[in-house]
Amino acid sequence: VWAADAINTLAEREIIQGTSENTFSPGRNITRADFAILLVRALKLTSDATENFSDVESNAYYAEEIATAKGCGIISGVGDNKFNPKKQISRQDMMVIVVRALQKDGYTLDDADDTTLQKFDDASQVADYAKSAIALLVTNDIITGSNGKINPNGNATRAEVATLIYRILNQKA
First to last CA, the chain: 24
In whole angstroms, give the CA distance from residue 93 to residue 153.
Answer: 9
Determine contact, residues 171/143, Cβ cutoff 8 Å: no
pLDDT of residue 129: 95
Which pLDDT belongs to residue 68? 96
pLDDT for residue 12: 86
Contact 87, 32 (CB under 8 A): yes
Q: Bridge-partner residues for 29, per DSSP?
A: 157
**Could you list the pLDDT tens digit for every one of the 173 residues in the chain?**
688 888 888 888 888 887 877 778 888 999 999 999 999 999 999 999 888 999 999 999 999 999 999 999 999 999 999 999 999 999 999 999 999 999 988 888 899 988 999 999 999 999 999 999 999 999 999 999 999 999 999 999 999 999 999 999 987 66
- Measured between alpha carbons, how far is 37 from 64 in angstroms, rounded to an integer? 9
Distance, CA of 75 to chain centre:
10
Round to whole Å and give the CA distance between 8 and 124.
35
Nearest to 98 by CA among 5, 30, 20: 30
> What does the pLDDT read at residue 173?
60
